[in-house]
C-alpha cells in the first residue's frame, strides 16, 4: 500500500499553475492537524465583487457550483492541490479496494444546519448528483453508486474502472450537502439548495436575486474558525465597474479585472496568476452552416489568434494552441497534430449568428475581432452579446451557430480527460459545439480507461487531436488571472483551476 503524508494543514489550496496527475493507485492518508493556520479570527467582513451572478439559483450541479466553491460555501470529499493531485477535504483518507471500488473515510464535520456529516448523508448527496439532469460535468461518461459503510466510511463503485475518482470527487459540482438541501421526497427533485446546508467556512444567509449575497462565518467549520466574520458578495458584470470598486476602496477583492483596466490600478493591488483557462470559438456542428465540416475549416483558417492576444488581451494571454494551454505544463510536449481535417470551402456569404457574454469583459472584444476576421473570409456575421445567465440555456440548446466562451480545462475534475468528455462527446453535459463524432467518443473513452500518469496524459492529447480534427472548436487564447485585491487583504486564493477565491484564511 502506498501512503502519502502531507505536512501542510488540511485546507490545502492552490498556489502555482503546475498540473501533474498524481499516482493513480494505492491508498491515501492525511495528517491529523485540521485547524486553520495563521493568527486568530477577526471581526472584519470581506467585500467581494464577482463577475457572474448565479445563473441557476445557486444549484450546485451547473455553472453556479464554482461560484459556491469560490465563496467558501461548499466542499467535496476531496480537494485539489497545486499539482492537481487529490487531497483531503470532507474525506480524511481513502483507499482503492479494486479496479471499480474505493472506500472513503470521513472526518468529523457538521453541515451548516447543525446535522452531522454521516456516511448515509454523503452517499445520498452523491446519489442525488448522479440523478441530476443534465448530469454534472464531472460525471460525464461516468456511472457511479455510493453507499454508507460503517460509522465513518462511504464505498463508491463505478461501472467502469475510474483511476482518477478521488480527483473527480473534488469537483465543485459534487459538493456534499445535508439531506435538508433536497427537501422531502419529491419536493425539490434535482434542484437542491446550498443555503444553510453546505459544509464550508462561510454560510449563505441572504440572497438578493442576482445582485448580491450575504454570507456569515460558520462557527462550527471542521477546519477551524474563519478569519473573516463574513463575506458581502456583489455580482458586478461590468468589468470597469469592478476595477473602479477596487480603486475607490468599495470592495476588497474583485475578480476578472479587464486587461484594459489593469494599468489603471495601483500595482500593489493588481494580482496575476497563470490559469488553465482557454478562450475558444465553439461551432455548432448539428444545425446551421457549420454542420458542414468544410465551412468549419473555413472558420478555423480565418482566425488569427496572435492578433487577439496582442490587440485584446494586451499580453495577458498566449495564442490558442489547443484545448490545453501552457499552464498545463506537460501538454505541449505531448501534443498530437490533428488529422483528417476537411478542406476549407468558400463561405460565399453564409450567414451565421455569433454569441458571447459580457461577464468577462474581454469576450465581447474578442467576438468583435473574430466577427471581422470571419467577415473578411466571406461569412455574414450577426453578433449577439448577453449576460451569461441569460445566454447559457440557449447556447446549450444550439440556438447559435458559433459561441465564444472561456473555459477552464481542468475545472471539473482536475483530470484532463474530464473536460473532453463533458464538452465534446455525444452525451456531454456542456457540449456547446453539439459535437457527436464516433472517432472522438472512442478516443475519449480510451483516455477514460487509461491508467498511469504519463499514459493518461498521452491518451488525453490523442483525444484532443481527434476533437480538433473535427474543427468543432477553434482555440483562441490561453488566459491569465487578473484580480484586484486591497493591500489590507491577506490570504486570497488565486488558483489555476479557478475553484477558490475566499477561504478560511482570507482576511483583512
Q: Exposed, middle or buried by CB within 10 Å (0-12, 13-18, 19+), for 449?
A: middle
233 pLDDT higher than 70: yes
Q: What value does the mean pLDDT of the chain take?
A: 88
Domain segments of the chain: what residues?
Answer: 27-37+57-192, 275-480
Average pLDDT over residues 18-29: 38
The tens digit of pLDDT for each residue in 433-453 reads 999 999 999 999 999 888 887
Q: Exposed, middle or buried by CB within 10 Å (0-12, 13-18, 19+), for 233?
A: buried
**Which comes out higher in pLDDT, residue 452 or 147?**
147
431 contacts 282 by C-beta, under 8 angstroms? no
At 381, give phi and psi (nearest 5°): -120, 120
For residue 295, count other CB atoms closer than 10 A to its CB: 25
The tens digit of pLDDT for each residue in 373-430 reads 999 999 999 999 999 989 999 999 999 999 999 998 887 778 888 889 989 999 998 9
For residue 229, count other CB atoms closer than 10 A to its CB: 18
Q: pLDDT confidence of 263, banded at 50, 70, 90?
A: confident
At 212, give phi and psi (nearest 5°): -160, 165
Closest by Cα among 432, 402, 401 to 419: 432
Average pLDDT over residues 42-61: 89
Yes or no: is domain 27-37+57-192 CATH 3.40.50.450?
no
Residues whose CB falls within 8 Å of the CB of residue 222, separated by 6 or more in sequence, listed in order: 34, 90, 107, 108, 109, 110, 199
Residue 224 corresponds to which cell in the numbers above? 477551524
Q: Is 112 helix (H, G, I), strand (E, B) or coil?
A: coil
What pLDDT is stored for residue 359 in this prediction? 85
60 contacts 172 by C-beta, under 8 angstroms? yes
Average pLDDT over residues 348-356: 98
Structural element, H or E, at residue 479: strand 473-485
321 pLDDT higher than 50: yes
The tens digit of pLDDT for each residue in 387-402 reads 998 999 999 999 999 9
Question: Which residue shows C-alpha cell 483583512?
Answer: 508
Q: pLDDT confidence of 189, banded at 50, 70, 90?
A: low
For residue 390, count other CB atoms closer than 10 A to its CB: 12
Residue 246 corresponds to which cell in the numbers above? 477596487
At 300, give phi and psi (nearest 5°): -60, -45
d(CA 290, CA 464): 20
Residue 381 corresponds to which cell in the numbers above? 456575421
17 pLDDT higher than 60: no
Q: pLDDT confidence of 95, banded at 50, 70, 90?
A: very high
Q: Which CATH class is domain 275-480?
A: alpha beta
Q: Exposed, middle or buried by CB within 10 Å (0-12, 13-18, 19+), for 32?
A: exposed
What pLDDT is stored for residue 348 in this prediction? 97
- 27-37+57-192 and 275-480 in the same fold: no
Closest by Cα among 84, 70, 99 to 167: 84
What pLDDT is stored for residue 12 in this prediction? 33
Residue 323 corresponds to which cell in the numbers above? 484545448
Q: What is the DSSP string of 124-144?
A: HHHHHHHH-SSPPGGGTT--E
d(CA 378, CA 346): 7
Instruction: Determine what percent of the chain is predicted with pLDDT higher than 70.
Output: 90
Specify the DSSP class assigned to residue 219.
Answer: T
Amino acid at each position: 500500500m502506498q501512503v502519502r503524508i502531507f505536512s501542510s494543514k488540511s485546507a490545502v489550496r492552490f498556489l502555482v499553475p503546475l498540473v501533474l496527475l498524481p499516482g493513480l493507485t494505492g491508498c491515501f492518508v492525511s495528517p491529523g492537524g485540521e485547524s486553520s493556520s495563521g493568527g486568530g479570527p477577526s471581526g472584519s467582513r470581506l467585500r467581494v465583487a464577482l463577475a457572474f451572478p448565479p445563473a441557476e439559483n445557486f444549484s450546485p450541479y451547473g455553472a453556479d457550483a464554482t461560484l459556491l466553491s469560490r465563496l467558501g460555501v461548499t466542499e467535496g470529499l476531496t480537494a485539489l492541490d497545486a499539482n492537481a493531485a487529490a487531497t483531503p477535504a470532507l474525506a480524511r483518507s481513502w483507499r482503492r479496494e479494486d479496479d471499480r471500488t474505493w472506500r472513503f473515510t470521513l472526518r468529523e464535520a457538521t453541515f451548516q444546519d447543525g446535522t452531522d456529516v454521516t456516511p448515509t448523508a454523503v452517499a445520498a448527496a452523491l446519489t442525488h448528483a448522479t440523478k441530476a439532469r443534465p448530469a454534472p460535468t464531472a460525471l460525464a461518461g461516468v456511472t457511479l453508486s455510493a453507499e454508507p459503510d460503517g460509522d465513518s466510511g462511504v464505498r463508491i463503485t463505478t461501472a467502469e474502472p475510474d483511476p482518477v475518482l478521488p480527483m473527480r470527487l473534488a469537483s465543485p459540482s459534487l459538493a456534499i450537502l445535508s439531506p435538508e438541501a433536497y427537501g422531502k421526497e419529491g419536493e425539490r427533485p434535482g434542484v437542491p439548495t446550498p443555503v444553510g446546508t453546505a459544509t464550508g467556512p462561510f454560510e449563505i444567509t441572504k440572497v438578493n436575486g442576482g445582485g448580491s449575497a450575504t454570507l456569515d462565518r460558520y462557527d462550527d467549520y471542521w477546519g477551524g474558525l474563519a478569519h473573516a466574520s463574513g463575506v458581502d458578495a456583489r455580482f458586478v458584470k461590468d468589468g470597469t465597474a469592478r476595477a473602479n470598486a477596487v480603486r475607490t476602496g468599495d470592495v476588497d477583492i474583485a475578480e476578472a479585472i479587464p486587461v484594459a483596466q489593469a494599468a489603471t490600478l495601483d500595482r500593489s493591488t493588481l494580482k496575476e496568476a497563470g490559469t488553465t483557462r482557454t478562450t475558444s470559438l465553439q461551432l455548432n456542428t448539428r444545425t446551421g452552416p457549420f454542420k458542414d465540416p468544410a465551412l468549419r475549416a473555413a472558420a478555423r483558417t480565418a482566425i488569427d489568434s496572435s492578433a487577439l492576444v496582442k490587440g485584446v488581451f494586451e499580453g495577458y494571454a498566449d495564442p490558442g494552441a489547443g484545448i490545453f494551454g501552457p499552464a498545463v505544463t506537460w501538454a505541449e510536449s505531448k501534443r498530437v497534430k490533428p488529422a483528417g481535417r476537411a478542406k476549407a470551402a468558400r463561405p460565399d456569404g453564409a450567414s451565421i449568428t455569433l454569441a458571447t457574454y459580457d461577464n468577462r469583459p474581454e469576450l465581447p472584444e474578442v467576438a468583435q475581432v473574430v466577427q471581422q476576421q470571419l467577415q473578411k473570409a466571406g461569412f455574414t456575421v450577426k453578433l449577439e452579446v448577453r449576460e451569461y445567465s441569460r445566454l447559457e440555456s440557449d447556447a446549450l440548446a444550439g440556438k447559435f451557430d458559433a459561441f465564444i466562451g472561456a473555459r477552464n480545462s481542468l475545472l471539473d475534475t482536475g483530470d484532463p480527460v474530464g473536460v473532453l468528455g463533458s464538452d465534446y462527446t455525444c452525451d456531454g453535459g456542456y457540449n456547446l459545439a453539439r459535437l457527436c463524432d464516433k472517432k472522438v467518443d472512442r478516443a475519449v473513452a480510451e483516455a477514460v480507461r487509461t491508467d498511469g500518469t504519463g499514459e493518461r496524459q498521452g491518451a488525453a492529447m490523442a483525444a484532443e487531436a481527434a476533437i480538433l480534427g473535427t474543427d468543432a472548436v477553434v482555440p483562441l487564447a490561453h488566459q491569465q488571472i487578473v484580480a484586484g485585491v486591497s493591500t489590507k487583504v491577506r490570504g486570497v486564493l488565486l488558483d489555476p483551476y479557478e475553484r477558490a477565491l475566499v477561504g478560511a484564511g482570507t482576511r483583512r
